[in-house]
Amino acid sequence: MEASASLGKEPSPLQSTLETLTERIDRLAVDMEKAELKEYVNLMRRPWGLIWRNFVSGLFRGIGIALGFTFFAATIVWLLQLLGALNLPVVGDYIADIVRIVQRQLEINPY
């Protein structure tokens, strides 16, 4: 009787330790779900899935770099053409030469 009466009034050290551990385990479970540890372990168990994902991501990254560089280079050539049309004294001749070289190269090797 005394043991059950004391449990109702204040928690024993063992009970408070168990409650603390339960709270920490619950927080750990939530943190592990946030970290998506399960997905990571599944990827490590299936290496071909990881290789495939890396291949596809590398392929799209390469396509993105190629498209970005093409847009950037086209913009630079367009700006150089505009500057060449302004007939600036010294810079205009160099820009015109660069534009002519690029255009000649594109006529020789159409891609």
Contact 50, 39 (CB under 8 A): no
Nearest Cα neighbor of 95 from 71, 78, 107, 75 is 78
| Arithmetic mean of pLDDT, 28-45 | 82
- Do residues 19 and 11 make contact, with C-beta atoms less than 8 angstroms apart? yes
| Whether the model pTM is above 0.85 | no
Q: 69-105, pLDDT tens digit by residue? A: 999 999 988 887 887 777 767 777 777 788 888 888 8
Average pLDDT, the chain: 82
Beta carbons within 10 angstroms of residue 95's beta carbon: 20
